[in-house]
Amino acid sequence: MSREKKEIIAMLLAGGQGSRLNKLTEKIAKPAVPFGGKYRIIDFTLSNCSNSGINTIGVLTQYRPLELNKHIGMGSPWDLDRKDGGVTILAPFMSADGGRWYKGTANAIYENFHFIEQYNPEYVLILSGDHIYKMDYSQMLDYHKEKQAEATIAVIRVPWEETNKFGIMNVDNKSRITEFDEKPRVAKSNLASMGVYIFNWKVLKKYLIEDEMDKNSHHDFGKNIIPNMLRDGIPLYSYLFTGYWKDVGEVRSLWESNMDLLKEDNTLDLYDRNWRIYSNNPANPPHYISSTGKVKSSLLNEGCIIHGEVNNCVLFPGVVVGQNSVVADSVIMPGVKIGDNTCIKRCIIMSNVSVPSNTVLEGKENDEIILVNQ
């Protein structure tokens, strides 16, 4: 079947287990973890694609895909239910010469070669489904073309003391990448890779095939593909992104990035009508704050019923807070019922948990955030 040629298609890596989120990802993949009161982490990348005019996306799943598959469906919340293209879930599969799990990020793309080829794209955008940010990929593509790059890597400035957690790009004065250091002890720059790459498909194809042959390879973009391209002197450019970007890889950073939304100077504007973040919308009535309820510095969603006090919290749809209860500095996921006379501080409470009346759950300042799953 011949298809319309697409200039660019996106491949979204959504297979991560996110083991550092521990109990949060026991039953769901990291990209399906709820975030920001009504979203799941993957909504940000999917909405970015949709808003950037990219309408062909392959979502590579592997770990615990049930919730993720259900969430994505046929892509209609992101306007990705298209006649040609749209969103396609790409799970590991069996073929005549056996089947296997994806061995690494590069291998995952290699295994879905045929998916990309059928659109015959000029460019392939590689994304990861674990980050919170709003980015116009079409501007990055314009930059990629202007630089006549073979590959462009989006980078963000990180604090120097955190450079050892990231893949760091060393660049020349024309933004051409000269060197790539994966989690360096002593960094030469603070430009960290965001895991967002645009490749010319012809070149990427060649490197993926070579990498697949290499028995010693980790089959990873950061560890293998990028270093191999640099070794061969291929023009790779960095694209500096300056907005809000957060890797929500740990319980603490997930909590922090939710709390960021409550700050007055928060740079992740969810209220911009020209760059909506789309998600599935539950059929709930507006939230209700009773005559005893008090809500300050918080995000609330539809279906919540508040009889108690809510301060500096992010509440997902359908949360109930009982009389005389105080909930502060916490993230309360969908359908959580909190009884009366309960005190909750610095917690993440997972979906559909019931907290009985007269409970005290307080995370101490600077300590780990309490994660409640039952």
Is 285 one of the binding residues for another protein (CB under 8 A)? yes
Q: Select the residue interacting with another protein from 178, 290, 352, 358 (CB under 8 A).
A: 290
87-126 binders of another protein (CB under 8 A): none
Q: At 217, list the tokens.
A: 């390879």
Report the amino acid identity of residue 334. Answer: P
Q: Could you give phi then psi for residue 125, rounded to 5 degrees? A: -100, 120
Give every CB contact of residue 76 below 8 A, 6+ residues apart in sequence: none
Q: Select the residue interacting with another protein from 298, 325, 330, 342 (CB under 8 A).
A: 298
What is the smallest separation between the CB atom of 338 and another protein, expressed in angstroms? Answer: 15
What is the smallest separation between the CB atom of 315 and another protein, expressed in angstroms? Answer: 8
Is 301 one of the binding residues for another protein (CB under 8 A)? yes
27-56 binders of another protein (CB under 8 A): 36-38
Is 70 one of the binding residues for another protein (CB under 8 A)? no
Q: Select the residue interacting with another protein from 5, 233, 271, 365 (CB under 8 A).
A: 271
Q: At 123, list the tokens.
A: 């460019």
Is 163 one of the binding residues for another protein (CB under 8 A)? no
Residues 72, 280: Cα–Cα separation, whole Å: 9
Is 274 one of the binding residues for another protein (CB under 8 A)? no
Is 64 one of the binding residues for another protein (CB under 8 A)? no
321, 256, 262, 293 alpha-carbon torsion, rounded to 10° = 10
73: left (phi over 0), alpha (psi -120 to 50) or beta: left
Nearer to another protein, 219 or 287 (CB): 287
Count other C-beta atoms under 10 Å from residue 367's C-beta: 10
What is the smallest separation between the CB atom of 121 and another protein, expressed in angstroms? Answer: 28
Q: Could you give phi then psi for residue 263, rounded to 5 degrees? A: -75, 145
**Beta strands 39-40 and 34-35: pairing type?**
antiparallel
Is 265 one of the binding residues for another protein (CB under 8 A)? no
Which of the ranges 19-27, 52-60, 90-98, 290-298 carries the binding residues for another protein, by CB under 8 A?
A: 290-298
Is 287 one of the binding residues for another protein (CB under 8 A)? yes
Concatenating the DSSP letter of every residue in 38-67 gives TEETHHHHHHHHHHTT--EEEEE--SS-HH
Catalog residues that contact another protein under the rule CB under 8 A: 36-38, 76-77, 262, 264, 270-271, 276-279, 281, 283-302, 305, 314-315
